[in-house]
Amino acid sequence: MVRSDGLLMPGSGFTPAVAPNLTREEIEALYSLKINKHIVIKPADKGSAVVILDRSQYIWEGSRQLGDTTYYLPLSEPIYPQTIPLVEKIVDNLLLKKFINSKQKKYLLGEPDPRPRRFYMLPKIHKEPDKWSKPHEIPPGRPIVSDCGSETYRTAEFIDYYLTPLSVLHDSYLRDTYDFLDKVRSVHIPPDAILFTIDIDSLYTNIDIDEGIRAVKNVFYRYRDVSRPEKELLQLLDINLRRNDFEFDGRFYLQIKGTAMGKKFAPAYANIFMAEWETAALAVCPKRPLHYLRYLDDIWGVWTHSREEFDVFLNTLNTHNKNITIKSTTSSTSVDFLDTTTFKGPDFANSHNLDTRVFFKETDTHALLFKSSFHPKHTFAGLVKSQLLRFHRICTRREDFLVASKTLFSALKRRGYSRSFLRRQFRVFLDPGRPPPGTTMIPFITTYSPSAVQVARNVKDNFRTFLESSGRLLEHYVVPAYRKNPNLNDMLVRARVSSLRDPPSTRRDTLVRHTPWLVNPQNRKVFQPLCRGGRHTKNCVYVIRCQRCGDMYVGETGNTVARRFAQHKYNIVRQKNTNTHLVQHFVRHGWSSVRVTVIETNPKWSLAQRQRAELLWITRLGTRYPGGLNES
């Protein structure tokens, strides 16, 4: 279901579908955008805008970037199938050495049939049009490789688990804006000091793989931990960096330099490399900054020497590593860093402390929620309060806070927020509100809809009644937590570029349907399918369910599901081989009542292994006749 703000409203569980308030023409226009293969829709790299590109322009920019043989190598075929056994061997060693248990091993190996990584770009429309890849026509794109569902996705999470705590152990580390504010406000600045910022150019893609792995080895050595599987972590890191193949427009490439934005460990890995780089680079600088702070690839500092010596400092940093290039901004009064401006305020001559205020980038479109958006009422008040609290924490001077608030309110008024609503939130944004009735929160999580709100109220009332009657759990309270509904971004943005050779499908596949659980009708035990398969899934075990009565049949096939069911359909529709319970059942109930769910797949199964898995599922679901449709 689609609402006027472009949100879809699916019915789920106790939440009924909400009637759409879009016209039929608007819904059809939305659908036509979704199936249009001649355009590519992406969020902008900065500013929360949505960019619609001609498919040929998007392919041109992708091919331009992937044609740079410094970073990418074309492949005749993907290498990720050969990576799977390498990962399995390392994970087996982790289990053998007791760094993980069998359940964790299963998680790290991921899906038995992983999908290829996909390359996509976020258009940098904030760049000057005359500096675009094709001036005033095709903007440059920020390259990202989607790692979700790949053969190394779970191991990238495993690496990140160990690298993240080590990535913060350096003096220049900044956690976020508020950490930056705490550190900046505590320093005293000489009157003639120069403020500067430095930006690293394309950090992720310019980290040399050998140097990055060496930096990780060094940080392991400095912070020894016998519970850390260093050998296996370095092996997995090497595989993640050197075997990072991906697909774009039907062709495969290998990234041979740097790490991809999209790898779970990429920020921690880059932070460790930068800590190694700056330690070595600063050690050889003739003069150093008085203060030096870094948030990943953004650096803020205070220079107390001459401008000529600052130029020497920059040149030393720029020439320390041929792969790392920097750009700097300097000022004797103020600089912009992250979402703040640090400046020498009116009281600086006496206090020698810097003031701070909110910095709005030129690309900031203030794309906050429309007041008509389909969200709980408290969301809109919370949004305004959170922004005001952020401004209040950033701004040291009230006049700067009022200016930032005015900018925010001007943007919100254009999005349907009334003046009275904004004034009310401004009056109470520092009010902590009433304390909760207990100290331990119990979240009640559901997808938002009007009926879900009523259910949440009933749950809270019933819980309160339980507390009063039982005297238990007195320190607990229930808080509704609403998941957002799918929006236009979820509907229209895809990492994969659709092939023009495949005509858009206008009918929905009613045969193969994924279901989150299956129930044994005899003992009522619930089982979850171990994969999410489709018509083209091979080497799998599947379950057939009758839509009319719920009877089930478990089967297996080495071919695709589509090919196997062509035979099933032939037997049922033509009434062939009617001596089986399966065919007899669906001859009576009709082919239209057949529904299929793939419940397990493994591309490396032999016939015997597949048949063993089939027998296991027959037993789990109790599908032997007469409990089901499998032969006794």
Q: State pLDDT tens for residues 381-427.
A: 999 999 999 999 999 999 999 999 999 999 999 999 999 999 999 98
What is the spatial distance between Cα 572 and Cα 568, in angstroms, rounded to a whole number?
6
If you average pLDDT over residues 535-549, what whole number do you get? Answer: 90
What token pair was written down for 419? 């003046």
What token pair was written down for 122? 């976020």
Least confident range of 20-29, 40-49, 50-59, 552-561: 20-29
Determine the 3-state secondary structure of 405 from DSSP.
helix
> Last residue of a domain, which of 253, 268, 283?
268
- If one counts the domains in the chain, the total is 2
Contact 122, 144 (CB under 8 A): yes
Mean pLDDT over each residue of the chain, to the nearest integer: 88
Q: Which residues pair with 480 in a beta bridge?
A: 444
Task: Indicate whether 289 belongs to any domain.
Answer: no
Handedness of CA 215, 217, 222, 228 (dihedral sign): positive
Give pLDDT, residue 432: 66
If you average pLDDT over residues 164-177, what whole number do you get? Answer: 94
CA-to-CA separations, 598 to 43, 453, 542, 576, in angstroms, rounded: 33, 35, 4, 24
The CA angle 28-30-34, to the nearest 5 degrees, is 110
The CA angle 439-441-442, to the nearest 5 degrees, is 145
What token pair was written down for 617? 């599922």
The CA angle 323-329-331, to the nearest 5 degrees, is 155
What is the spatial distance between Cα 544 and Cα 553, in angstroms, rounded to a whole number?
5
Contact 350, 333 (CB under 8 A): no
Element at 598 (helix H, strand E)? strand 594-601
What is the spatial distance between Cα 296 and Cα 277, in angstroms, rounded to a whole number?
12
Q: Residue 331 CA to chain centroid, in angstroms?
A: 37
Q: State pLDDT tens for residues 342-375.
A: 999 999 989 999 999 999 987 777 888 888 888 8
Q: Which residue has the tokens 């379950």?
A: 543
If you average pLDDT over residues 217-238, what whole number do you get? Answer: 96
What token pair was written down for 171? 């003096």
pLDDT band at 499 (very low <50, low <70, confident <90, very high): confident
Max intra-chain CA distance, the chain: 97
Give pLDDT, residue 508: 47
> Last residue of a domain, which of 268, 287, 315?
268
If you average pLDDT over residues 94-109, what whole number do you get? Answer: 93
* DSSP letter string, 530-565: SS---TT--SEEEEEEETTT--EEEEEESS-HHHHH
What is the spatial distance between Cα 487 and Cα 8, in angstroms, rounded to a whole number?
6
Task: Indicate whether 432 belongs to any domain.
Answer: no
- Reported pTM: 0.80
pLDDT beyond 70 at 17: no
Half-sphere exposure for 78 (CA within 13 Å, toward CB): 18
pLDDT beyond 70 at 142: yes
Task: Indicate whether 145 belongs to any domain.
Answer: yes
Judge residue 170's burial from the number of C-beta atoms within 10 Å of its C-beta, 0-12 exposed, 13-18 middle, 19 or more buried. Answer: middle
pLDDT band at 72 (very low <50, low <70, confident <90, very high): very high
pLDDT beyond 60 at 98: yes
Give pLDDT, residue 504: 47
* DSSP letter string, 156-176: HHHHHHHHHHHTT-STTB--S
Residue in 36, 79, 27 with CA at minimum distance from that of residue 54: 36
pLDDT beyond 50 at 285: yes
Task: Indicate whether 541 belongs to any domain.
Answer: yes
CB burial readout 597-628, b (16+ within 10 A) else e: bbbbbbeebeeeebeebbeebbeebbbeeebb
Task: Indicate whether 375 belongs to any domain.
Answer: no
Number of other CB atoms surrounding residue 427 within 10 Å:
9
Q: State pLDDT tens for residues 234-263.
A: 999 999 999 999 999 999 999 999 998 889
What is the pairing mode between strands 245-248 and 251-255? antiparallel
- Domain containing 532: what range? 518-621
The one-letter amino acid at 632: S
If you average pLDDT over residues 23-43, what whole number do you get? Answer: 86
Task: Indicate whether 141 belongs to any domain.
Answer: yes
Q: Which residue has the tokens 């089986």?
A: 580
pLDDT band at 446 (very low <50, low <70, confident <90, very high): confident
Residue in 290, 286, 287, 317 with CA at minimum distance from that of residue 301: 290
pLDDT band at 501 (very low <50, low <70, confident <90, very high): low
What is the pairing mode between strands 141-146 and 340-343? unpaired
If you average pLDDT over residues 103-126, what whole number do you get? Answer: 89
CB burial readout 314-331, b (16+ within 10 A) else e: beebbebbeebeeebebe
> Last residue of a domain, which of 268, 295, 321?
268
If you average pLDDT over residues 163-182, what whole number do you get? Answer: 95
CATH number of the CATH domain containing 589:
3.40.1440.10
What token pair was written down for 498? 């659709």
Contact 623, 629 (CB under 8 A): yes
Secondary structure E strands in 454-591: 476-483, 518-519, 526-527, 540-546, 552-557
Determine the 3-state secondary structure of 248 from DSSP.
strand
Q: Which residues pair with 261 in a beta bridge?
A: 263
If you average pLDDT over residues 8-24, what whole number do you get? Answer: 51
Task: Indicate whether 103 belongs to any domain.
Answer: yes
Give pLDDT, residue 523: 87
Residue % of the chain over a pLDDT of 70: 94
Q: State pLDDT tens for residues 553-603.
A: 999 999 989 888 888 888 888 777 778 889 889 888 888 889 999 999 988
If you average pLDDT over residues 460-464, what whole number do you get? Answer: 87
Task: Indicate whether 230 belongs to any domain.
Answer: yes
Determine the 3-state secondary structure of 298 from DSSP.
strand
Give pLDDT, residue 377: 87
Contact 258, 207 (CB under 8 A): yes
If you average pLDDT over residues 162-166, what whole number do you get? Answer: 96
Contact 103, 235 (CB under 8 A): no
